Amino acid sequence: MPRRILVIEDEPGIRLALKDELEFEGFEVEVAVDGVTGLAAILRSPPELVVLDLMLPGRNGFQICEEIRTREIRTPIIMLTARNQEIDKVRGLGLGADDYVTKPFSLAELVARIHAVLRRTHTHDDSGILEAAPIKLDLRKHSAFKGDIELQLTDTEFRILTLLLKRRGDVITRDDFLKQIWGEDVYVTHRTVDTHVAALRKKIEDDLEHPAYILSVRNVGYRFNENITRS
Ligand code: CA
Instruction: Tell me what pLDDT residue 30 has.
Output: 96
Question: What is the average pLDDT across 218-222?
Answer: 92
| pTM assigned to the model | 0.55
Task: Tell how far the Cα of 64 is from the centroid of ligand 1, in angstroms.
Answer: 13
Is the fold of 4-121 the same as that of 129-224? no
What residues does each domain of the chain span? 4-121, 129-224
Distance from residue 70's CA to the centre of ligand 1 (Å):
23
The environment of the single-atom ion ligand 1, i.e. residues with CB closer than 5 A, is: 10, 53, 55
Q: How far is the CA of 54 from the centre of ligand 1 (A)?
A: 6
Least confident of 62-76, 91-105, 122-136, 194-208: 122-136
Alpha carbon of 224 to ligand 1 centroid (Å): 40
Rounded distance between C-alpha atoms, residue 60 and residue 105, angstroms: 20
Q: How far apart are the CA of 58 and the centre of ligand 1, in A?
A: 11
Closest C-alpha to 45, from 22, 68, 19, 25? 68
Query: In the chain, what percentage of residues exceed pLDDT 90?
Result: 50
Average pLDDT over residues 152-161: 93
Q: How confident is the model at residue 124 (pLDDT cuts 50, 70, 90)?
A: very low
- Ligand 1 centroid to Cα of residue 11, in Å, is 6
On whether the 4-121 domain is CATH 3.40.50.720, my answer is no
Residue 161 has pLDDT above 80, yes or no: yes
Using pLDDT thresholds of 50, 70 and 90, give the confidence band for residue 184. low
Taking the centre of ligand 1 as the mean of its atom positions, its distance from the CA of residue 218, in whole angstroms, is 39
Residue 211: pLDDT over 50: yes
Distance 52 CA to ligand 1 centre (A): 9
Pairing of strands 49-53, 77-81: parallel
Tens of pLDDT along 16-69?
Answer: 999 999 999 989 999 999 999 999 999 988 899 999 998 899 998 888 988 888
Q: Which of the four pLDDT bands, split at 50, 70 and 90, describes residue 132?
A: confident
Q: Helix, strand, coil: what percent of the chain each, to 5?
A: 40, 20, 40
Tell me the CATH number of domain 129-224, given options 1.10.3720.10, 1.10.10.10, 3.60.110.10, 3.20.20.70. Answer: 1.10.10.10
Mean pLDDT, residues 161-181 taken together: 87
Q: How far is CA 54 from CA 31, 85, 91, 229, in A?
A: 15, 13, 12, 41
Question: Is 126's pLDDT higher than 50?
Answer: no
